[in-house]
Structure 1
Amino acid sequence: MKKIALDARELEHPEPLVQATRILQGLDDGNYLYMLHRKQPIPLLDLASEQGFQTVSFQDHDNNWHILICRNPDIDLKELLRV
């Protein structure tokens, strides 16, 4: 499983959504998006869910959001968070 990383913490709106959407268009069953963001990207999570992607997100103790999105339904995204 290949991780495609996007650190959006310093990007201005709407660039995180634009870049993440572009990455999602290229995802296949062998890769996933790992995004760091300063806010929970609800529009991105909604868009991904509507398009059949699975998502998981959590906020760490520094208030950064970690977001994982993939197309493959057989992948346990929570397990990838532990790696």
Structure 2
Amino acid sequence: MKRFFLDARELEHPAPLEKSIDILKQLDNNSYYYMIHRKEPIPLLALAQEHNLNYISKEQNKQWHIIISPNPNINLEELLKEKIENV
């Protein structure tokens, strides 16, 4: 499975959303997008919801971890748990 990754913790608005939109356009059923951000990216999550993408976001240690994928068969919770453990 292909992973697109963005560490947006030090990026200023609107760069994280702009970069994320470019990545979302590249997603297919064999890929997912993983982002780390200092705040919950509410506009990005709303955009994912509008486009019927599956997503999960979780705050841990003052960092937000987000995974987005069009594939409904990916266990986002398990994938996010793995990513958080490896940060």
TM-score (norm 2): 0.91
What letter is aligned with 2:47? L
Determine helix, strand or coil for the equivalent of 1:40.
coil
**Aligned twin of 2:20:** 20
Q: How does 1:44-55 map to 2 (within 5 A)?
A: 44-55=44-55
Structure 1 consecutive aligned stretches of length 4 or more whose deviation exceeds 2 Å: none
**Aligned twin of 1:34:** 34
Shift of 1:31: 0.6
Shift of 1:82: 2.6
**Aligned twin of 2:7:** 7
**What percent of counterpart residues are identical?**
52
Compute the RMSD of aligned alpha carbons: 0.7
Determine helix, strand or coil for the equivalent of 1:18.
helix
Q: Distance in 2 between matches of 1:15 and 1:78?
A: 26
Determine helix, strand or coil for the equivalent of 2:11.
coil
Determine helix, strand or coil for the equivalent of 1:12.
coil
User: Is the CA contact 2:57–2:65 (under 8 Å) kept in the aligned structure 1?
Assistant: yes
Q: Distance in 1 between matches of 2:59 and 2:28?
A: 26
Structure 1: runs of 5 or more not aligned: none
What letter is aligned with 1:65? W
Q: Distance in 2 between matches of 1:81 and 1:51?
A: 21
User: Is the CA contact 2:66–2:80 (under 8 Å) kept in the aligned structure 1?
Assistant: no
